[in-house]
């Protein structure tokens, strides 16, 4: 990690055993520090930033493990070109370009019905305009913009959708991350802006669970992690790292591009301290239709990234405990949990780590398996599950609890301005819309991968799920 970078622990990281063990990251892990590492860790925490080679090496290890995050300096001298794809929506484009005032901006008109209106807005804001004769979709429009930069000396390229409004200074703050040569892309937080006329239920739900809003916690982006992808609604990329988007993907082209950057060895970061506003649908039909269309990307993405689209990740012991609990077998479930915790405690002890971590880690993994199973059933198999439990009240009650668990967990975590009943119903409708899209995309792509669970070694996370 370069000298001068600040480093802070992730808010979920626990410091144990006098600073010799750190528990955190995603997936969660325990890191044991050597005596020299403990000394460097204490200096790093006391200073708050990298001061020498030793603290730099430790900072890199902590950041790569996801137990800590960098605090780069603000950088106002970065050479950045912003590409804005658009198709009509002249009023939204005007608001976007006003927020980008002072930046080098290229607007790509992707076959607008009224190209003159778009051209007038672009001219008024002093941006450059590229026009495509027919609509090719977001990937094609961004590729047109990238091709126009072939001879450019710009170090960075930023992608901003025309219905987004970046906050002041957003580019300078994100560009600081690129002082780390390992970083190839950085995304801000996409915060929802509710359209006029949106009802109270939709408004409260959208404010808390927009599929583009990845939350307030910064993260290292990687498949299977807490943040497994970032959208290109707003994204800054090292220009030499990305050649083009896959134009065969109408949805999910941004997920594919980010995963290709990571597969090539690059570091992608999510920095929610920088925000970009994004307009949300105003009606439930529009909202659910968007969720359905997002789901259709799962099949084509599974063809390109076969190990990254599982709807549920099943580790053997937590899955066994969860299955026994769902079968209403509390004593065998407890016994399985005890055995799992004992096995993990033995492994932790052999690695020189506190065995007391085992029980809470198994409990956490079991809870995650149950809520993950609830969401997967809701999205992909709810009609079949209801049919199988029809006429069996106890099993139907278990299914209802399983389906409600993810929504209630989110309600407790997010504290939306909506009562739990309406929140749960809205969450189920949202999951069903997304799930029908997953089925549609999987059938069209002729792959079952987005419909089947995976083990931790082969999982990656579901986009916008």
Q: DSSP letter string over 31-80?
A: EEPPHHHHHHHHHHHHHSB--SHHHHHHHHHHHHHTSEEEEPPP-S---E
- pTM of the predicted structure, to 2 decimals: 0.91
pLDDT over 80 at 196, yes or no: no
Q: What is the pLDDT averaged over residues 110-139? A: 96
Question: Residue 353: pLDDT band by 50, 70, 90 thresholds?
Answer: confident
Residue-wise pLDDT for 265-304, tens only, equals 999 999 999 999 998 998 999 999 999 999 999 999 999 9
Q: What is the pLDDT averaged over residues 205-219? A: 93
Question: Residue 458: pLDDT band by 50, 70, 90 thresholds?
Answer: very low
Indicate the burial class of 415 (C-beta count within 10 angstroms; 0-12, 13-18, 19 or more).
exposed
Dihedral of CA 315/321/325/329: which sign?
Answer: positive
Intervals of CATH 3.90.550.10 along the chain: 80-281
pLDDT over 50 at 250, yes or no: yes
Mean pLDDT of the chain: 92
Question: What class does CATH assign to 80-281?
Answer: alpha beta
Residue 169 burial (CB count, 10 A): 11
Q: How many residues does the chain have?
A: 465
Residue with tokens 């607007």: 107
Residue-wise pLDDT for 391-447, tens only, equals 899 999 999 999 999 999 999 999 999 999 999 999 999 999 999 999 999 999 999
Please name the residues in contact with 3: beta carbons below 8 A apart, sequence gap of 6 or more: 50, 51, 52, 56
Percent of the chain scoring above 70 in pLDDT: 98
3-state secondary structure (DSSP) of residue 405: helix
Tokens at 298, concatenated: 């799962």
* pLDDT of the residue at 463: 59
Residue 334 burial (CB count, 10 A): 13
Question: Residue 465: pLDDT band by 50, 70, 90 thresholds?
Answer: low
- The DSSP code for 194 is P
Distance CA 242, CA 234 (A): 15
CB 33 within 8 A of CB 41: yes
Give DSSP secondary structure letters for 87-121. SS-HHHHHHHHHHTTTSEEEEEEES-SSHHHHHHH
Lowest model confidence (mean pLDDT) among 167-181, 194-208, 371-385, 401-415: 194-208
Dihedral of CA 194/199/205/208: which sign?
Answer: positive
3-state secondary structure (DSSP) of residue 426: helix
């Amino acid at each position: 990690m370069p000298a001068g970078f600040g480093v802070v622990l992730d808010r979920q990281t626990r410091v144990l055993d006098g600073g010799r063990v750190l528990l955190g990251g995603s997936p969660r892990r325990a890191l044991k520090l050597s005596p020299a590492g403990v000394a460097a860790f204490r200096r790093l925490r006391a200073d708050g930033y990298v001061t020498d080679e030793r603290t730099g090496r430790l900072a890199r290890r902590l950041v790569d493990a996801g137990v800590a995050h960098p605090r780069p300096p603000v950088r106002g001298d970065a050479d950045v070109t912003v590409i804005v794809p658009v198709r009509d929506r002249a009023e939204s484009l005007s608001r976007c370009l006003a927020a980008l005032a002072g930046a080098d901006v290229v607007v790509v008109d992707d076959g607008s019905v009224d190209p003159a209106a778009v051209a007038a807005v672009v001219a008024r804001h002093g941006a450059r305009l590229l026009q495509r004769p027919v609509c090719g979709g977001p990937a094609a429009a961004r590729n047109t913009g990238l091709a126009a930069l072939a001879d450019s000396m710009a170090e960075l390229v930023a992608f901003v959708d025309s219905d987004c409004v970046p906050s002041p200074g957003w580019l300078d703050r994100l560009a600081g991350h690129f002082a780390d040569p390992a970083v190839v892309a950085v995304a801000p937080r996409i915060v929802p802006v509710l359209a006029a006329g949106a009802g109270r239920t939709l408004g409260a739900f959208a404010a808390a669970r927009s599929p583009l809003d990845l939350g307030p916690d910064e993260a290292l982006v990687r498949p299977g992690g807490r943040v497994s992808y970032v959208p290109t609604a707003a994204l800054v990329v090292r220009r030499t790292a990305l050649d083009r988007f896959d134009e065969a993907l109408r949805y999910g082209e941004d997920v594919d591009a980010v995963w290709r950057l990571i597969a090539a060895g690059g570091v992608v970061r999510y920095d929610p301290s920088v925000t970009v506003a994004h307009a949300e649908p105003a009606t439930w039909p529009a909202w659910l239709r968007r969720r359905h269309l997002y789901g259709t990307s799962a099949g084509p993405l599974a063809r390109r990234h076969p190990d990254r689209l599982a709807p549920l990740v099943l580790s053997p012991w937590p899955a066994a405990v969860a299955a026994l609990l769902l079968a209403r077998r509390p004593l065998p479930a407890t016994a399985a949990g005890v055995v799992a915790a004992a096995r993990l405690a033995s492994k932790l002890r052999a690695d020189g780590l506190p065995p007391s971590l085992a029980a809470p880690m198994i409990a956490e993994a079991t809870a995650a398996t149950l809520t993950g199973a609830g969401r997967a059933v809701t999205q992909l198999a709810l009609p079949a599950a209801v049919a199988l439990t029809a006429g069996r009240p106890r099993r139907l009650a278990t299914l209802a609890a399983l389906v409600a668990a993810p929504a209630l967990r989110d309600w407790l975590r997010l504290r939306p301005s909506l009562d739990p009943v309406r929140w749960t119903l809205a969450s189920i409708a949202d999951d069903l819309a997304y799930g029908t899209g997953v089925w549609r995309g999987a059938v069209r792509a002729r792959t079952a991968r987005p419909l089947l669970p995976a083990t931790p070694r082969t999982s990656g996370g579901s986009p916008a799920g």
